[in-house]
C-alpha cells in the first residue's frame, strides 16, 4: 500500500505541474499550437509555414513510454499519420511502430496500422508483432486473486491482416487472417501455489499455434481514428481456426464506440466504448480473452496485462476529454472502466471496476496526436501510462 501511495503522490506532483504550466499559457493567444511548435520556438528553429499539401506525413515520437503489465516494460512509440486521398473524402491513416524492452525478459517489436485508401474505398487494419514476453497470469474469471499468481514466459509471433471493402457510406465488409504462434512457453507458480496455466490444460505445452480466418463487418464515420472528436465506430469480427495445434475453436468480437462533442468554446468530448469478446471450443490459454489482450490492447487501465482471463469478456469504459489551455496545447481526461470475465464454468461472477485521470499535451496539431500521461487504479492495483494517441 505504501508503494502505491508513493507512486500516486509522484503522479499527482507531475500532474499538478502540468496543470500549472497549462495555466501559464492560459492568457496567451487562442491560436492552436502543439509541442512541436513550442520546442521549435524554444530552440530558435524556424517555424515559417509552408504551403499546405494535400498529402503529407506527420510524425509523432515518444522516446520512452510505459505500459502496465505483470512486469513493467519500457516502450518507444512512433506514430506516422497521413492521408492517401483528398482531405474531404479520405480519413487519416496511421501506423504505430512499437519497439519495447524492460532490459530483462521482455523484448520485441510491434507494428499496428489502420489504413484508408483514397475515398475510403478500402480499410486495411492489421498488426505484426514478434516478441519475448514475461508476464503474470492468475487463472480464469473475475474473482482470481494475487495469491494465484503464475509467472509465464514465452515467445510470440503474431500476424493479423485484414481488408475491408466499402459497401456504401461508412459501411464496410471484409475478410482477413490471424496467425498466432506461441513457443518456448514456460510457467512457474508463485510459492507452492497451483500452476494456473497448466491447470487449464489446453494450449499449455511448450508451443501452440493457430491460423484463423475472420469475417468482418465495420461501420466507421470518424475522420481521425488517432483522436476522434465525434462519430461512431462499430466492428463485428467472427474468427474460425481451421489450422491449430489443438482442436478447432471460434471467437466472436463486437466493439462499439461513440464520441460526443459537448457545446463549449474549448474542446470537450465524451467518449464511450463497450465490447464483447466470446470464444467457443477448445481455446488455447494464450488465445483466451483477457485484460489488454484484445486487438487494440488498451482495455482495463488500472490493471496489468492479462490480469483477468476467461472464455468470455464484457467490457465498458467512459472517458471525459477536455482542453485546459485555450490554444489546445494542454488537456486532461477522467475515465472509468469495468470488466467481467467468465470463470472455469463459463459464468460471469463479478465485475472489476477501475478509474483514473490523466494529462494531455498536443504533440502534433495536424494529425491531432496527443502525448498521454495517465494514472489508473483498480482493486489492489494501479498503472502508470505514457504514450501517444488516445486509448480508444
Going by C-alpha positions, the residue among 221, 127, 17, 21 that lies closest to residue 9 is 17
Q: What is the pLDDT of residues 268-308, one digit of tens each?
A: 999 999 999 999 999 999 999 999 999 888 899 999 999 99
- Phi, psi for 198 (deg, rounded to 5): -65, -30
How do residues 90-105 score in pLDDT, each as one tens digit?
999 999 998 888 888 8
Q: Is residue 161 within 8 Å of 123, Cβ to Cβ?
A: no
Query: Do 301 and 385 touch, CB atoms closer than 8 A?
Result: yes
Between these two residues, 263 and 76, which has the higher pLDDT value? 263
The pLDDT, as a whole number, for residue 29 is 45
Strands (E), 229-367: 231-244, 249-261, 268-281, 312-323, 330-341, 352-364
CB 315 within 8 A of CB 292: no
Q: Average pLDDT of the chain?
A: 87
Q: How far is Cα 212 from Cα 177, in angstroms, rounded to an integer?
A: 6
User: Residue 20: is its pLDDT beyond 50?
Assistant: no
Could you tell me if 357 and 151 are in contact, meaning their C-beta atoms sit under 8 angstroms apart?
Answer: no
Query: What tens digit of pLDDT does each residue of 219-238 get?
Result: 999 989 999 999 999 999 99
Cα 290 to its chain centre, rounded Å, is 13
**Mean of the pLDDT values across residues 231-260?**
92
With cell 471467437, the residue in question is: 251
| Confidence check: pLDDT of 14 > 90 | no
Q: What is the pLDDT of residue 172?
A: 98
pLDDT recorded at residue 9: 52
- 356 vs 49, higher pLDDT: 356
Short-list 337, 336, 272, 330, CA closest to 308: 337
Count of domains for the chain: 1
Query: Cα 294–152–203 angle (5° rounding)?
Result: 70
> C-alpha distances in angstroms, 349 versus 54, 136, 281?
53, 22, 21
- Would you state the pLDDT for residue 72? 64
The CATH number covering residue 382 comes to 2.40.160.50
Q: Higher-confidence residue: 62 or 131?
A: 131
Which grid coordinates are listed for 307? 490480469
Residue 46 has pLDDT above 80, yes or no: no
Q: Is the pLDDT of residue 51 over 60?
A: no
Rounded CA-CA distance 91/115 in Å is 9
Classify residue 147 by its DSSP letter: G
Q: Which domain holds residue 117?
A: 2-47+54-388
Residue-level pLDDT at 380: 87
CA distance 8 to 18: 15
Residue 117 has pLDDT above 80, yes or no: yes
Q: How confident is the model at residue 18 (pLDDT cuts 50, 70, 90)?
A: very low
Instruction: Dump pLDDT digits (tens) for 119-175.
Output: 999 999 999 999 999 999 999 999 999 889 999 999 999 999 999 999 999 999 999
Comparing C-alpha atoms, which of 313, 334, 317 is closest to residue 274?
A: 317
Read off the pLDDT band of 55 (50, 70, 90): low
Residue 47 to residues 30, 54, 77, 236: CA-CA distances in angstroms?
A: 18, 19, 24, 44
For residue range 341-392, what is the model confidence (pLDDT) as tens digits?
A: 999 999 999 999 999 999 999 988 888 899 999 999 999 898 888 888 899 9
Q: Does the pLDDT of residue 48 top 70, yes or no?
A: no
**Matching residue, cell 499539401:** 53
Res 30: pLDDT: 55
CA–CA distance, 88 with 120 (Å, rounded to integer): 11
Residue 334 has pLDDT above 50, yes or no: yes
* Nearest residue to 370 via CA among 331, 313, 327, 325: 331
Residue 263 above 50 pLDDT? Answer: yes
- Does the pLDDT value for residue 318 go beyond 90? yes
Q: What is the mean pLDDT of residues 16-20?
A: 47
pLDDT at residue 52 greater than cutoff 50? no
Q: What is the pTM of this model?
A: 0.86
Work out the average pLDDT over 59-71.
70
**Cell of residue 222, nine digits:** 470518424
Lowest model confidence (mean pLDDT) among 12-16, 61-65, 116-120, 251-255: 12-16
Instruction: For residue 342, give the DSSP letter.
Output: B
Amino acid at each position: 500500500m505504501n508503494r502505491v501511495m508513493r507512486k500516486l503522490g509522484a503522479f499527482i506532483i507531475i500532474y499538478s505541474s502540468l496543470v500549472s504550466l497549462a495555466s501559464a499559457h492560459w492568457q496567451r493567444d487562442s491560436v492552436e499550437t502543439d509541442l512541436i511548435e513550442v520546442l521549435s520556438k524554444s530552440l530558435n528553429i524556424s517555424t515559417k509555414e509552408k504551403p499546405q499539401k494535400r498529402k503529407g506525413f506527420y510524425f509523432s515520437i515518444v522516446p520512452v513510454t510505459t505500459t502496465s503489465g505483470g512486469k513493467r516494460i519500457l516502450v518507444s512509440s512512433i506514430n506516422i499519420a497521413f492521408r492517401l486521398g483528398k482531405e474531404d473524402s479520405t480519413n487519416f491513416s496511421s501506423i504505430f511502430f512499437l519497439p519495447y524492452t524492460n532490459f530483462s525478459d521482455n523484448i520485441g517489436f510491434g507494428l499496428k496500422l489502420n489504413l484508408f485508401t483514397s475515398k475510403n474505398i478500402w480499410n486495411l487494419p492489421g498488426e505484426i508483432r514478434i516478441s519475448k514476453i514475461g508476464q503474470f497470469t492468475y487463472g480464469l474469471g473475475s474473482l482470481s486473486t494475487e495469491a494465484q499468481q503464475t509467472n509465464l514466459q514465452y515467445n510470440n509471433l503474431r500476424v493479423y491482416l485484414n481488408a475491408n471493402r466499402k459497401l456504401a457510406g461508412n459501411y464496410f465488409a471484409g475478410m482477413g487472417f490471424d496467425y498466432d504462434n506461441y513457443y518456448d512457453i514456460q510457467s512457474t507458480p508463485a510459492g507452492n501455489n497451483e500452476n494456473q496455466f497448466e491447470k487449464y490444460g489446453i494450449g499449455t505445452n511448450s508451443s501452440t499455434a493457430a491460423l484463423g480466418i475472420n469475417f468482418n463487418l465495420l461501420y466507421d464515420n470518424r475522420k481521425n481514428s488517432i483522436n476522434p472528436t465525434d462519430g461512431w465506430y462499430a466492428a463485428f469480427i467472427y474468427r474460425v481456426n481451421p489450422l491449430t495445434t489443438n482442436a478447432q475453436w471460434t471467437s466472436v468480437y463486437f466493439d462499439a464506440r461513440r464520441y460526443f462533442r459537448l457545446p463549449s468554446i474549448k474542446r470537450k468530448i465524451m467518449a464511450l466504448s463497450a465490447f464483447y469478446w466470446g470464444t467457443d471450443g477448445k481455446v488455447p490459454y494464450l488465445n483466451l480473452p483477457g485484460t489488454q489482450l484484445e486487438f487494440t490492447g488498451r482495455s482495463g487501465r488500472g490493471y496489468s496485462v492479462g490480469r483477468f482471463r476467461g472464455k468470455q469478456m464484457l467490457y465498458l469504459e467512459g472517458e471525459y476529454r477536455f482542453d485546459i489551455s485555450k490554444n489546445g496545447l494542454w488537456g486532461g481526461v477522467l475515465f472509468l472502466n469495468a470488466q467481467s470475465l467468465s470463470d472455469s464454468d463459463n459464468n460471469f461472477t463479478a465485475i472489476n471496476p477501475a478509474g483514473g485521470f490523466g494529462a494531455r499535451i498536443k504533440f502534433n496539431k495536424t494529425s491531432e496526436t496527443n502525448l498521454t500521461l495517465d494514472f489508473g487504479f483498480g482493486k489492489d492495483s494501479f498503472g502508470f501510462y505514457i504514450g501517444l494517441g488516445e486509448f480508444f
